A and B are shown apart, each in its own frame.
Chain A
Amino acid sequence: MKMSTTLKALSFAAAAALAPLAAPQAQAAGTVTVAVAIDPGSWDPIDTFLVDWSSVGNNIFDGLTARGPDMKLKPGLATSWEFLDNNSRIRFKLRENVKFHNGEPFNADAVKFTFDRLLGDEGKKGPQQSNYNSIDHVEVVDPNTVDFVMKQADPVLLTKLAGYGAMIVPPKYLQEKGDEYFNTHPVGTGPYKFVSYEPKVSINLEAFPEHWAGTPKLDKVVFRMIAEANTQIAELQAGRIDIATQIPFGLAPTVEKDPKLSLISITGPTVVALRLNTKNGITKDVNVRKALIMGIDREAIIKAVLLGHGKPIASFQADLSFGYDPNLKPLPFDLAKAKQMLQQAGVQPGAPVKIDFRGNEATFREVAQAAAGFLQALGLKPSLQPYEPPVLLNDIIPNGKTGEAWHNAWGGWTFDYDNTAYLMYHSGEKWNPYDKDPKLDALLEKQRSIYDVKEREKLLQEVARYVADQALEIPLYNQNTIFGVNKRLKNFEPPSDRRFRFTDVTVE
């Protein structure tokens, strides 16, 4: 019959179509390719507040200060700074002979322009302004000196100047080309300059030889936007990207097993807790809250669900965070004692504990299920309520409509407990729908006015201790930042906050 030849021909054609394909091209020498999840759409520092922006932007731009993977604050475009007029004025000496990628000189006017823009109408449209509201305005003293005139004290400011909205932008370029052009053709003073950008696909950078800290070692850095974690890992395994930034815990072993790749798992900024309802339900009683903490084996959850990529916490911050107290230990897991405490508090067996959580987080869903298992073992009746994240964050939490416990995940790039603690525990804040504690408020307000590092640290530690004492939350864990990295990368220092800076990296 004739058809059989057709069939043969078809299968032959299919085989022939696949055969001549060259293997996917390997990485060019001197080029590093990184996969990020989201395209911010604009590379202007003040338009968004996305980690993926900073993974790219930290290579294009510089701040007055800088902070690398070691978490130490270093001089950036400013070489030194001093506090004047009773801390109401901070004077920065600027680095000389620095150029933007377009040749424009960096000077005091550029700093003033950057902050006028951030604090003015342009900044108002984006999410960055509120981070810098403590600054009243910037004054030019001479071409290489600026004064930051403060509206209120802000001890975290120097850290905040190292990233995101405080990155210095070129005034002449922006005035000539306009804001919209700048969004897709960014120019900064950083080690890599912008080459091309294809929305939702990739952004390409190349070395800026005149960078003030010396020519970077790589020729090119390419960032590809790949949202799906599985796809990032496939690209990594195929050798087409060098760094994958989306590695779910469950897929970490896949990367670990591959001989060409290494899995990097380091302390990250994200902390996770179950915040407790102090107004309604059995969690009204501080002893019950403590019993719930002791009844949940957090170490076991980290081992089983996070596959070990996390650490137990005693307060809502990572150990890298300013305000962390190594002497504050988490309450131990002790089921018998927890049961006894519940009994003493008069909690009836089968009392309900509802856990509200962000339904899109697969990992936390498992964590919540494990926690519910432990609560059940305490004789309680746990239930899980998943929500669409915006509904939970904009309605359920701020309006005090939660169950006994809710999912709190937090991770500030500043690694300063101030930001977290103030928003979480100060009266009237959106994340704090149930408590009004004048003592805690006073502590939180006081530390905001103190520049003395030691004294402020002590106060923040006191806040953490107080919160732990009141058992406002069940601190669960600090989860690691995980990268999958091709072994051909040398001198790669992984940043906890994913703000890469490829100045010293080389490739084989």
Chain B
Amino acid sequence: MAGFIFKRLLQAIFVILAVTLIVSFAIRLSGDPAVMLAGGSNITEKDLQNIRQALGLERPFIVQYLTFLKGLLVGDFGRSFMGGTSVSLLISKALPATLLLAFTSLLISILLSVPLGVYAAVNRGRWPDQLIRIVSLVGLSFPNFWLAIMMVLFFSITLGLLPPSGMEGPESFIMPALTMAIILTATNVRLVRTSMLETLSQQYIMVARSKGLRDRVVLYKHALRNSAIPLVTYIGLQFGGLVGGIVIVERVFNWPGMGTLAFDAISGRDYPVLQGTITVLALFIVLINLMVDIAYGLIDPRIRTE
């Protein structure tokens, strides 16, 4: 296990290096933060030079990148170009907000998709199965920003029940988490169903049934556990997609998370903030993949011994 984790850590370092290098390089091709800071105001080239110098942008790219890496080693992501706020401080506030939202969404999605998927598989071909499949197809085809806006219109403006944006009490989680969860659930239901169907056709299920075990035990103990492997892999991978998709949802709900931070950093050409958020997100996705691998071992003892 130790060797395996070590190998994965090396991989992680490589991924982080590659991602930061690409991000740092690409955003520098796209415009001048000094001009963005001045907001197109009356400013001369000499003043722009001064601002660039103060931001450290006059140095060659490789020097800027190495400075960033050096800071990374001690957990210092530098300072935002906008107002000089410490990037670590911004991330330390935004990351929990995003993770909380992502996990809530994922949790809701699992709670919905596992029973629904199992139910559909058991009733294969009959009307509950058809209904669940059609509804999930509809759910899959919604763009999440549209769903978000519709929910705001209905729950906040028509009914006046939920706050339309911001992260305040638990009620502010409902709409953003549901938006993400509905789209995740749509895919997950289909995955659970397919995986369940495959398992249910196995001989050991037949054996279990013929032993006279109750339906519930056969389904949840024997079948679900065996069909969980593809599900766990997929949910792990989904997390990466979730963090990507969250940018839009965070923006619509004005969620103070990593997506908002990255979005603002891109539009303001705030290099340090963008580099910081992307690095942390990349690190996180690498970590999740590692956890998925470890989770395999817990679910299926055969993988542990290999």
Chain A positions near chain B (C-beta within 8 angstroms): 1-3, 6-7, 10, 17-18, 21, 23-24, 38-44, 47-51, 124-127, 129-131, 180, 183-184, 198-201, 224-228, 230-231, 234-235, 237-238, 240, 388-391, 393-394, 410, 412, 419, 423, 430
Bound together, the chains give a CA A228 to CA B152 distance in angstroms of 13
Contacts of A129 in B (CB 8 A): 47, 50
Contacts of B160 in A (CB 8 A): 23-24, 238
Bound together, the chains give a CA A228 to CA B264 distance in angstroms of 11
Contacts of A201 in B (CB 8 A): 166-167, 256
Instruction: Indicate whether A131 sits within 8 Å of B41 (C-beta atoms), given known contacts A199-B90, A231-B252.
Output: yes
Instruction: Indicate whether A127 sits within 8 Å of B41 (C-beta atoms), given known contacts A7-B119, A10-B115, A200-B264.
Output: yes
Instruction: Indicate whether A419 sits within 8 Å of B82 (C-beta atoms), given known contacts A10-B112, A199-B90, A231-B253.
Output: no
A318 to chain B, nearest CB (A): 16
Contacts of A24 in B (CB 8 A): 156, 160-164, 171
A-B contact pairs, 26 of them (CB 8 A): A1-B215, A2-B216, A3-B119, A7-B115, A10-B112, A21-B171, A42-B83, A50-B39, A126-B37, A127-B43, A130-B42, A183-B85, A199-B90, A200-B264, A228-B251, A228-B252, A228-B254, A230-B152, A231-B251, A231-B252, A237-B164, A238-B157, A238-B163, A390-B31, A390-B32, A390-B269
CB contact between B85 and one of A2, A10, A18, A41 (< 8 Å): that residue? A41
Bound together, the chains give a CA A463 to CA B215 distance in angstroms of 88
Instruction: Indicate whether A127 sits within 8 Å of B51 (C-beta atoms), given known contacts A51-B39, A199-B90, A226-B165.
Output: yes
Contacts of A430 in B (CB 8 A): 45
Chain B positions near chain A (C-beta within 8 angstroms): 30-32, 34-47, 50-51, 54-55, 80, 82-85, 89-90, 93-94, 111-112, 115-116, 118-119, 122, 149, 152-153, 156-157, 160-167, 171, 174, 215-216, 251-254, 256, 260-261, 263-264, 268-269
Contacts of B171 in A (CB 8 A): 21, 24
B105 to chain A, nearest CB (A): 15
Return the chain B residue nearest A235 by Cβ.
Answer: B164
Bound together, the chains give a CA A40 to CA B82 distance in angstroms of 6
Beta-carbon contact of A394 and B83 below 8 Å: no
Bound together, the chains give a CA A3 to CA B220 distance in angstroms of 11
CB contact between B83 and one of A41, A226, A235, A237 (< 8 Å): that residue? A41
Contacts of A224 in B (CB 8 A): 166, 254
Excluding A24-B162, A44-B83, 20 further A-B contacts by CB distance (< 8 Å) are A3-B115, A10-B112, A21-B171, A24-B161, A49-B37, A125-B50, A127-B51, A130-B46, A200-B261, A227-B251, A227-B260, A231-B165, A231-B252, A234-B157, A237-B156, A238-B163, A390-B35, A391-B31, A393-B40, A394-B35
Beta-carbon contact of B30 and A234 below 8 Å: no
Beta-carbon contact of B44 and A130 below 8 Å: yes
Beta-carbon contact of A180 and B38 below 8 Å: no
Bound together, the chains give a CA A214 to CA B174 distance in angstroms of 44
Beta-carbon contact of B118 and A3 below 8 Å: yes
B112 to chain A, nearest CB (A): 7
CB contact between B254 and one of A1, A226, A388, A412 (< 8 Å): that residue? A226
Beta-carbon contact of B42 and A131 below 8 Å: yes
Beta-carbon contact of A238 and B42 below 8 Å: no
Among B41, B45, B50, B119: residue with most chain A CB under 10 A: B41
Beta-carbon contact of B38 and A42 below 8 Å: no
Beta-carbon contact of A49 and B39 below 8 Å: yes
Return the chain A residue nearest B38 by Cβ.
Answer: A127
B165 to chain A, nearest CB (A): 5
Beta-carbon contact of B164 and A234 below 8 Å: yes
Bound together, the chains give a CA A234 to CA B252 distance in angstroms of 10
Instruction: Indicate whether A200 sits within 8 Å of B43 (C-beta atoms), given known contacts A49-B38, A389-B31, A391-B30.
Output: no
Beta-carbon contact of B50 and A235 below 8 Å: no
Contacts of A388 in B (CB 8 A): 30-31
Beta-carbon contact of B252 and A41 below 8 Å: no
Return the chain B residue nearest A19 by Cβ.
Answer: B161
Interchain residue pairs A-B with the least CB separation, the first 4: A41-B83, A390-B31, A42-B83, A125-B54
